[in-house]
Structure 1
């Protein structure tokens, strides 16, 4: 079963959350990243995510595996969109289940930070001034 996914269509975070719950879970943490209308004091009209899919899948799975080893969590998932996204659309989701909340929060933060730093996904923003720019990775 894949714990990390690249999605080219919108996905339902509630269904993903349901995959993580069982009787051992006492804490759940999630992160949702949405497309915002600005970046670095510039108006953003929308964006496009592109990925090296095979490498992104492998590295994303590696990140989640590290989180499972590093933190006392039961399970974790991450989904990242690719393609054209509009302002307000869900771009990335991370969910973590654990017996206790501290581990769930820590692993969730670790996963999103490492995915943004290491997974080969590039963001191409379209600005209100008519130009565009590529962004990746986030330090």
Structure 2
């Protein structure tokens, strides 16, 4: 992390359009801070843990609720979003309530720690006070 840049020269995809390989060159003098597109990866090992990254949004879409407002109009239908992810094996040590920063994602609080490989760790996003995009069904 923070060791420099790699410039991707070629992307190889399978017949389903999934990326299977990247080829490129190292640019260790490049600035991580000024590079616009970033890629985070983990090694493909059996030690990775399954994660569920959970984001919550406001229940009410309006800043001010009036007495005669229709609940169906002001209620947000998309208040929870779950994203499946993989994490480093060190995340097996997280305890319920621990706070962790995921690179380029933000801060999360552990709600369900590691129990066994088939059961994902559940992390809840911690809002940082910055404006956000409303959650959507996708």
TM above 0.5:
no
In proportion to residue count, which structure has more strand?
Answer: 1
Structure with greater Cα Rg:
2
Q: TM-score, normalised by structure 2?
A: 0.26
